[in-house]
Structure 1
Amino acid sequence: MSLIIAYVGKKGCVMASDKRRIAYFGEKDTREKLEEEIYSGVIENDKELKERSDELNITLKISDDANKIRYIESVIVGEVSSRTTFETRRKRIYGTTNGYQIIEMLGSEITHSENGESAIILFGNKVSKSIANDLISKKWKSTFSLKYMGEIFENILGEVASKTPSVGKKYDVMIVHPEFDDEDPQKYLDGVIQRDVQLLGKWREKLKSDLLEQNETIQLANKIINEGNIGVISVTDGPIIQVTLNENVQAYDTNWKQLAKPGEDVVMISNQEDIELGDKVVIENEVLCIERNKNSLKCDIILCNL
């Protein structure tokens, strides 16, 4: 769901993109059918897209706030991506004065690359690229200034958006024109791409770590004890008592850091004087208390099953 247009040459680099993102919710077969109708040009505008999605019982979430191009130093980067259940495929163009590189990635691993000094490059689906190509051949000239090229690209995006809902009506246009004296633009691009891909790898590792941590938290949360035996009182010191946890009970702090394993002691507080060594501590009706007399207890820990 993207259209990115890029010019790279001796004047610099101009890149323009729409900002549309569409999410589909429904049966896999009907989602694929709808996408095919969009990409082939059968569906020509947002109204037809809404009507067809209703016919196929597909829910759509359409937004026009995606950032598909960005600056890195004296380079503009454009990206289109597709996501599967297990992985993300990316296609990127890095453009600057007298140089561009196109890379394809699976996750954060580069699977294909190509480069050149000058070109007009299009990223998008079949119908959007076909319309854009026709318009570029009519409107664009190499003698144009970078600023005017950006205006031409923006006009092209607007015309494409009027003929296919795969392209939105909001756009970004970016321009760079650095001067390279002794440095080869391709070597400069190599360095920028290496840093950018490394940053993506670190981000993916952090995301993976965060997801694993969230999953662990969810699993622990499902083990919180709302009813059952907790342990026995092993030490009393006025209102402060120590409870030895049962063999299937463990304790965590509010950040889900383990504080005590089964058989180890935790600290609790009682406001009642009727406390005896060996008293059973339980949770009844979600209340932590002494089983014998139902005196309530307080603690700042989370009690979970093993």
Structure 2
Amino acid sequence: MSLIIAYIGKKGCVMTGDKRKIGYFGDKENLEELEKELYNGKIRTDDEFKKRAGELGISIKITDDATKLKIVGNSVRGEVSTKGTFETKRRRIYGTTNGYQIVELLGSETKSRKAGEKGIIIFGNNHAKQLAQTLIQRKWKPSQSLKYMGEVFEGILAEVSSQTPTVGDKFDTLIQQPVFNSSQAQKHLNITIDNDIKVLTKFRQELTEQLVQQNIAIDMASKIIDKGEIGKVVSIDGNMLFVQLNDKTQAMDGNWKQKAAPGQNVLMFTDSDNVKIGDKVVIENEDLCLKKDKSPLKCDIILCSL
């Protein structure tokens, strides 16, 4: 769901891209039918798209706030991506003065990489690309400034967006024009792209770690005890109590790390002066208290079942 147009030449690189992003949810066969009609140009407007999606029972979410272009080093990077079940496929173009490279990634693994010196490159679905190519042939004037070329590209994207919902009507345009010959351009791109992919790899590793932690949190949250016996008082020191956990209870900290296993002691606090060794500690109506008189207790741990 993107259209990116890039010019790379001796003047530098100018790149324009839309900001559309579309999310789908629904029956696989109906989704395939919707995409078929969308990509062959049968569906021309957002309203037609929403109506047809409704007829097929497909839920869609359309936004126009995606950032598909970015300045990386002395180059402009454009990216279109497709999220699969397990991995995201990315197609990127990095452009600078007198050089560009097109990189295809699966996750953060490079699947292909090819280089060129100059030209007009278009990323998008076939229908949007054909519309853009026709308009470029009609409007292109290579002798103009990069700023003017960017304005032409924006006009082309605006026309394409009026003919297909796959392209939005909001755009970004970025320009880079360092002084590079073709050899210098490719050297700079090699360094820039290698570093950029390393950043992506690190980001994906951090994201994976976050997802693991989120899954742990979801699993542990389902084990938080809101009712039942916790343990018994085994030591009293003023308002501080040491409570021995029973064989079905463990104590966790805010990061879901175990602070105490079943049978071990945890620290709790009370305002009651009627606590005895052996008193049962329970949770009733999500409140931690003594079983005998419902005196409230406090602690800085999370009590969970095994």
Superposition TM-score tier, normalisation by shorter sequence:
over 0.9
How many residue pairs get aligned? The number is 306
Identity score, percent: 53
Q: Where does 1:14-53 land on structure 2 (aligned, <5 Å)?
A: 14-53=14-53
| Structure 1 gaps, min length 5 | none
Contact 2:98 2:182 in 1 (8 A): no
Which stretch has the larger CA shift, 182-191 or 71-80?
182-191
For 1:182 and 1:80, locate their aligned partners in 2 and report how far apart those are by CA, in whole Å. 25
Question: Letter of the aligned partner of 1:286 in structure 2?
Answer: E
* 2:214 counterpart residue number: 214
For 1:130 and 1:60, locate their aligned partners in 2 and report how far apart those are by CA, in whole Å. 25
Contact 2:226 2:286 in 1 (8 A): yes
* 1:196 counterpart residue number: 196
For 2:238 and 2:175, locate their aligned partners in 1 and report how far apart those are by CA, in whole Å. 73
* 1:277 counterpart residue number: 277
Q: Where does 1:148-163 land on structure 2 (aligned, <5 Å)?
A: 148-163=148-163
CA shift in 2, pair 1:291/1:62, >3 Å: same
TM-score, normalisation: structure 2: 0.96
Contact 2:251 2:258 in 1 (8 A): yes
Q: Where does 1:60-139 land on structure 2 (aligned, <5 Å)?
A: 60-139=60-139
CA offsets 1:82-102 (integer angstroms, 9 cap, x no match): 011111000000000000000
TM-score, normalisation: structure 1: 0.96
* 1:304 counterpart residue number: 304
Which stretch has the larger CA shift, 181-190 or 157-166?
181-190
* 1:180 counterpart residue number: 180
For 1:103 and 1:45, locate their aligned partners in 2 and report how far apart those are by CA, in whole Å. 31
Give the ranges of 4+ consecutive aligned residues of structure 1 lying more than 6 Å apart after TM superposition.
none
* 2:256 counterpart residue number: 256
| Structure 2 gaps, min length 5 | none
Question: Letter of the aligned partner of 1:214 in structure 2?
Answer: Q
For 1:69 and 1:107, locate their aligned partners in 2 and report how far apart those are by CA, in whole Å. 18
CA drift of 1:284 comes to 2.7
Which stretch has the larger CA shift, 168-177 or 283-292?
283-292
Give yes or no for the alignment of 1:3 onto 2:3: yes
Question: Letter of the aligned partner of 2:100 in structure 1?
Answer: Y
CA drift of 1:209 comes to 0.6
CA offsets 1:121-169 (integer angstroms, 9 cap, x no match): 1100011000111111111132222122111111111111111111111
For 2:182 and 2:37, locate their aligned partners in 1 and report how far apart those are by CA, in whole Å. 50
For 2:224 and 2:230, locate their aligned partners in 1 and report how far apart those are by CA, in whole Å. 12
CA drift of 1:294 comes to 3.4
For 1:278 and 1:29, locate their aligned partners in 2 and report how far apart those are by CA, in whole Å. 64
